[in-house]
């Protein structure tokens, strides 16, 4: 039997976008129903660390003089003006106000000092690092937010998956959903689809990103909302995986490799080698980037993606000994989210990685190349050139800093570890206007349809996530808030 529910505004999904949309719609006088696939609120937003905002009270109190004008122009330039300027401007200009608004909802949040940024490349950069406001005591914060919303009269239906939109004569009039095998029809005057992209659908992500080598993190958002919006006439202009840092490869050979935390972002000391600017080569043995990008999660992931999402970092026995003896002088990046500073027997760890087939070893460079499937001649030329650059402290190819040209690759055995770019769900999506109305192919709003967060297109460059901390999570709340107000206005003429 199909259950039928009537509401003014239906919000599908209760991550940051859905929560903000629901609260702003109810504040604007609408009757609001939220359906959520999982048994709890939060989605990927609850896993995320922080919120990009410019000119917040805390920034002013800290003496930071940040202008939204400058932030907008920096992001637009980063995006090569491919993003929707009107949307970008509205989001950045309302970010500080939205931050204060979510604090009133119950979120505890604190400005992160630029000096403490996990992305060393952003140290001292107030626009890229000083914009980061970090969520505190998340369980308590989300508990308070849920209470605020329920007290405001918002009805939540959990464990309920939106399936499709109800479209009548070009107008969106609700959605169908499924709860415990039963169908629900939710009639609504306006719908905000806040289902957070499709990061849980690995096949779809692999198709968009042209590789199946990415590692993934996040809740299983499978893209029903995005698919339904496209079916209703929306245009997916720029959805893509939010690639962010790289991880050690996960062994498919031995469960122990994972159990011992040799894979993924882990506290295993081996991660220190991943998070320092060792020599990187692609699957052919060609060096491809200034390895100092390891200090910025976005640039690092982008460099990895440029080679198909996977690369090797190369170390010799002397480098392993240096790390084992706690004599490493390279700064260990905390990007993504960092390694333990504890010591360890790096040779033993390397051997375990080899046993798990997430690394290869060779007594000679040729043997390593053969075992790792690299082109021997190319690899040997790469190593010779790199060793010369280390000796001269001068990277003629990629301008790696002299202080990172520390470890030549000279004394066997030699190791190649597999690293894989990682993604945190998807971002981008269907084209929207600055009110978060979903537009059809002729750029006309589809009546009754709104979205935001990881379903909305036009805030990013297309395939690269801008290297400003907290941008996606901040966009989520701010776009959701605008979408909720727009939906309420459409639904009840508030
Ligand atoms: C591990 C991780 C760390 C991150 N860290 C940061 C960070 O520090 N800073 C930053 O800016 N960004 C970060 N991001 C990205 C950012 O969190 C997301 O882009 C953003 O939270 C997306 O918000 P959203 O509301 O659109 O989606 P979500 O927060 O994912 O919410 C979507 C909700 O919809 C529900 N849902 C899905 N499908 C359906 C359906 N069919 N029907 C009903 N409900 C459905 C989901 O269960 C979920 O609750 C991170 C992402 C991850 C995964």
pLDDT, residue 250, reads: 81
Among 292, 265, 258, 252, smallest CA distance to 276 is for: 292
d(CA 120, CA 485): 38
* CB of residue 95 inside a 6 A radius of ligand 1: no
Ligand 1 pocket mutation, candidates 298, 472, 483, criterion most atoms within 8 A of CB: 472
> Is residue 229 within 6 Å of ligand 1 at its C-beta?
no
| Binding site membership of 148 for ligand 1 (Cβ less than 6 Å) | no
Ligand 1, atom 48, lies closest to the CA of 43
User: How far does the centroid of ligand 1 lie from the alpha carbon of residue 199, in Å?
Assistant: 9
Which pLDDT score, from 0 to 100, does residue 267 have? 66
> Does the Cβ of 161 fall within 6 Å of ligand 1?
yes
Atom of ligand 1 nearest to the CA of 476: 23
* pLDDT of 212: 96
Does residue 224 have its Cβ closer than 6 Å to ligand 1? yes
pLDDT tens digit string along 75-86?
A: 999 999 999 999
For a pocket test of ligand 1, which of 48, 50, 334 has the largest count of ligand atoms closer than 8 A to its C-beta?
A: 48
Q: 196 C-alpha vs ligand 1 centroid, how far in Å?
A: 5
Query: Does residue 37's CB lie within 6 angstroms of at least one atom of ligand 1?
Result: yes
User: Tens-of-pLDDT digits for all 494 residues of the chain?
Assistant: 679 999 999 999 999 999 999 999 999 999 999 999 999 999 999 999 999 999 999 999 999 999 999 999 999 999 999 999 999 999 999 999 999 999 999 999 999 988 888 888 898 899 999 999 999 999 999 999 999 999 999 999 999 999 999 999 999 999 999 999 999 999 999 999 999 999 999 999 999 999 999 999 999 999 999 999 999 999 999 999 999 999 988 877 765 555 555 555 666 888 999 999 999 999 999 999 999 999 999 999 999 999 999 999 999 999 999 999 999 999 999 887 677 778 899 999 999 999 999 999 999 999 999 999 999 999 999 999 999 999 999 999 999 999 999 999 999 999 999 999 999 999 999 999 999 999 999 999 999 999 999 999 999 988 888 999 999 999 999 999 999 999 999 999 85
CA of 471 to the centre of ligand 1 (A): 13
3-state SS class at 395: coil
Is 470 a pocket residue for ligand 1 (Cβ < 6 Å)?
A: yes
Q: Is the CB of 35 under 6 A from ligand 1?
A: yes
| Interval between CA 315 and ligand 1 midpoint (Å) | 37
pLDDT at 117: 85
- Half-sphere exposure in the Cβ direction for 176 (13 Å, CA): 9
What are the pLDDT digits (tens) for 370-387? Answer: 999 999 999 999 999 999
State the distance from the centre of ligand 1 to the C-alpha of 146, rounded, in angstroms.
16
Pocket test for ligand 1, best of 38, 160, 195 (most atoms within 8 A of CB): 195
44: CA distance to ligand 1 center in Å?
A: 3
Q: Is the distance from CB of 420 to CB of 429 less than 8 angstroms?
A: no
Measured from the Cα of 454, ligand 1's closest atom is 26
> What tokens were used for 276?
């320092």
Tokens 């970010």: give the residue.
Answer: 95
Secondary element (H or E) of residue 365: helix 365-372
Q: Around Cβ 270, how many Cβ atoms within 10 Å? A: 27
200 lines ligand 1 (CB under 6 A): no
- Ligand 1: residue whose CA is nearest its atom 6: 48
Pocket test for ligand 1, best of 129, 424, 430, 480 (most atoms within 8 A of CB): 424
Nearest protein CA to atom 17 of ligand 1, as residue: 45
Nearest CA owner, ligand 1 atom 16: 473
Q: Tally DSSP H helices, then E strands, for the chain.
A: 16, 19
Residue nearest to atom 3 of ligand 1 (CA): 48
d(CA 412, CA 380): 13
Closest residue (by CA) to atom 52 of ligand 1? Answer: 424
Q: Do 162 and 135 form a contact (C-beta atoms < 8 A)?
A: no
- Which of 221, 335, 457, 474 has the most ligand 1 atoms within 8 A of CB, as the residue to mutate? 221
Residue 422's contacts (CB-CB under 8 Å, 6 or more residues apart) are 214, 215, 216, 217, 243, 244, 245, 246, 247, 265, 301, 336
What is the C-alpha separation between 55 and 99, in angstroms, rounded? 10
48 touches ligand 1 (CB under 6 Å)? yes
For residues 314 and 404, the answer to whether their CB atoms sit within 8 Å is no
Confidence (pLDDT) at 67: 96
Question: How many angstroms is it from 218 CA to the middle of ligand 1?
Answer: 7
């Amino acid at each position: 039997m199909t259950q039928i529910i009537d509401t003014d505004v239906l919000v599908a999904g209760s991550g940051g976008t859905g929560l903000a949309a629901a609260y702003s719609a109810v504040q604007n006088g609408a009757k609001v129903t939220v359906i959520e696939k999982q048994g709890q609120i939060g989605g990927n937003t609850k896993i995320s660390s922080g919120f990009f905002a410019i000119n917040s009270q805390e920034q002013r109190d800290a003496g930071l003089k940040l202008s939204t004008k400058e932030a907008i122009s920096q992001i637009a330039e980063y995006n090569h003006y491919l993003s929707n300027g009107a949307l970008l401007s509205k989001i950045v200009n309302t970010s500080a106000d939205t931050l204060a608004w979510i604090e009133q909802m119950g979120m505890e949040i604190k400005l992160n000092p630029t000096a403490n940024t996990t992305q060393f490349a952003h140290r001292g950069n107030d626009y890229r690092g000083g914009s980061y406001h970090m969520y505190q005591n998340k369980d308590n914060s989300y508990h308070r937010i849920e209470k605020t919303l329920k007290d405001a009269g918002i009805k939540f239906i959990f464990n309920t998956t939106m399936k499709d939109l109800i479209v009548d004569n070009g107008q969106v009039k609700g959605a169908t959903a499924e709860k415990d095998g039963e169908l629900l029809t939710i009639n609504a005057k306006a719908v905000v689809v806040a289902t957070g992209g499709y990061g849980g659908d690995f096949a779809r992500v692999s198709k968009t990103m042209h590789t199946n080598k990415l590692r993934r993190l996040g809740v299983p958002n499978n893209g029903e909302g995005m698919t339904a919006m496209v079916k209703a006439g929306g245009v997916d202009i720029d959805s893509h995986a939010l690639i962010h840092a790289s991880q050690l490869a996960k062994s498919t050979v031995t469960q122990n490799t994972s159990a011992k935390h040799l894979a993924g972002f882990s506290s295993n000391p081996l991660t220190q080698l991943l998070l320092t600017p060792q020599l990187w080569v692609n699957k052919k043995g060609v060096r491809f980037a200034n390895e100092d990008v390891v200090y910025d999660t976005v640039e690092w992931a982008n460099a990895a993606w440029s080679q198909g999402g996977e690369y090797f970092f190369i170390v010799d026995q002397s480098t392993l000994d240096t790390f084992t003896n706690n004599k490493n002088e390279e700064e260990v990046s905390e990007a993504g989210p960092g390694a333990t500073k504890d010591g360890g027997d790096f040779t033993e760890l390397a051997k375990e990685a080899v046993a798990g087939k997430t690394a290869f070893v060779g007594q000679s460079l040729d043997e390593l190349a053969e075992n790792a499937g690299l082109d021997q001649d190319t690899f040997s030329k790469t190593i010779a050139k790199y060793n010369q650059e280390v000796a001269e402290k001068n990277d003629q190819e990629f301008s790696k800093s002299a202080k990172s040209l520390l470890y030549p690759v000279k004394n066997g055995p030699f190791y190649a570890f597999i690293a894989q770019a990682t993604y945190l769900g998807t971002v981008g999506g269907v084209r929207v206007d600055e009110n978060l109305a979903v537009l059809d192919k002729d750029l006309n709003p589809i009546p009754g349809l709104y979205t935001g967060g990881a379903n909305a297109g036009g805030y990013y460059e297309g395939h690269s996530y801008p290297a400003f901390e907290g941008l996606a999570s901040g966009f989520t709340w701010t776009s959701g808030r605008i979408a909720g107000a727009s939906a309420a206005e459409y639904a009840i003429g508030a």
